[in-house]
Amino acid sequence: MHVLVVEDEPKLLENLIIGLGHYGFEVTGASDGVGLDAALVEKKIDVIVLDLGLPGEDGVEIAQRIRAQSTIGLIIVTSRGLIEDRIIGYEAGADLYFVKPIDIGELAAAIRSVERRLAQSPGSPWQLEIESSSLITPGKIRVRLNSQEISVLKLLLSKIGEDIGRTELLAVLGLPDDISFYSRLEVLISRLRTKVVKSDPAFPLPIQTRYSRGYAFVTESGA
Ligand code: CA
């Protein structure tokens, strides 16, 4: 579990890094939004602990921006303790909101709780989130899908590792099994691959083309 702590007060940042380290987390520190962006590119972060009062981009804006494109765990730890502030924090997308000072043991428990929410679907690192019409990549990036893409991915993800014939794929799209529709299927899969790789270059969509048969969603673990 890798936690990214964003805190501009050096002593507090150091205490959080050391304290969470004692609870068994791998911890990276950043002092502002720029440092956070750099860490997100370099490392696979599971949960972000975010201060709101930061130099440069404010923590609330950072939270909104992160949440717009990712389901990553987000815990706000701030000195802003008013109910209005808490509401703003939750509306910006925080999973949990704590007012300083926070007990390090409580923060560690909160991080584990958020992580359990993220690990709700143990079958595959790829998850479909139907409510928001999105695919969640293993990097926790949310990729918006159209209804056809959802139908196809739903079928492929329901039978991971299996070859799914064109007939079956065309059927979920409401199209007849006719050679004239094969190219539409190819275009749809190809656009889907492009869309995912643009959103999360670290995790190309593992859909394999089965020559003259159809497609298969194949993950490394086979799970
Ligand atoms: Ca601060």
pLDDT digits (tens, 9 = 90+) for 61-110: 999 999 887 778 999 999 999 999 999 999 999 999 999 999 999 999 99
Residue 14 sits in a domain whose CATH number is 3.40.50.2300
Higher pLDDT, 161 or 7: 7
**Rounded mean pLDDT of the chain?**
90
Q: Which run of H or of E encompasses 186? A: helix 182-199
User: Does residue 34 lie within any of the structural domains?
Assistant: yes
Q: Would the CA dihedral through 69, 84, 47, 114 be positive or negative?
A: negative
- Average pLDDT score over residue span 25-44: 95
Each residue's pLDDT tens digit, 155-188: 888 888 888 999 989 988 988 888 888 889 999 9
Contact (Cβ atoms closer than 8 angstroms) between residue 138 and residue 203: yes
Rg (C-alpha) for the chain, rounded Å, is 21
Same domain, 15 and 67: yes
Residue showing tokens 């804006």 = 61
State the residue range of the domain holding 131.
127-217
Identify the DSSP state of 160: T
User: Does residue 47 lie within any of the structural domains?
Assistant: yes
Highest mean pLDDT among 23-37, 124-138, 166-180 belongs to 23-37
Helix (H, G, I), strand (E, B) or coil at 153: helix
Nearest to 111 by CA among 66, 65, 146, 76: 76
Split at pLDDT 50, 70, 90, the class of 1 is: confident
Ion ligand 1 contact residues with beta carbon within 5 A: 8, 51, 53
Same domain, 23 and 114: yes
User: Does residue 223 lie within any of the structural domains?
Assistant: no
Please give the distance, rounded to the nearest whole angstrom, from the Cα atom of residue 89 to the centre of ligand 1: 15
Please give the distance, rounded to the nearest whole angstrom, from the Cα atom of residue 3 to the centre of ligand 1: 18
Q: What is the tally of structural domains in the chain? A: 2
Please give the distance, rounded to the nearest whole angstrom, from the Cα atom of residue 116 to the centre of ligand 1: 28
Nearest to 188 by CA among 162, 156, 212: 156
Looking at 118, 150, 176, the residue that finishes a domain is 118
Same domain, 66 and 152: no
Same domain, 212 and 184: yes
User: Does residue 206 lie within any of the structural domains?
Assistant: yes
Alpha carbons 110 and 94: distance in angstroms, whole number: 12
- CB proximity list for 103: less than 8 A, separation 6 or greater: none
Please give the distance, rounded to the nearest whole angstrom, from the Cα atom of residue 138 to the centre of ligand 1: 31
Please give the distance, rounded to the nearest whole angstrom, from the Cα atom of residue 193 to the centre of ligand 1: 40
Nearest to 141 by CA among 188, 75, 201, 62: 201
Looking at 84, 118, 152, the residue that finishes a domain is 118
Higher pLDDT, 17 or 151: 17
User: Does residue 222 lie within any of the structural domains?
Assistant: no
Same domain, 6 and 96: yes
User: Does residue 151 lie within any of the structural domains?
Assistant: yes
Looking at 100, 118, 136, the residue that finishes a domain is 118
Q: Which run of H or of E encompasses 89? A: helix 83-91
Split at pLDDT 50, 70, 90, the class of 121 is: very low
Higher pLDDT, 213 or 216: 216
Same domain, 84 and 136: no
Same domain, 11 and 99: yes
Same domain, 14 and 110: yes
Same domain, 61 and 148: no
User: Does residue 20 lie within any of the structural domains?
Assistant: yes
pTM of the prediction? 0.60
Q: Would the CA dihedral through 179, 181, 184, 188 be positive or negative?
A: negative
Residue 173 sits in a domain whose CATH number is 1.10.10.10
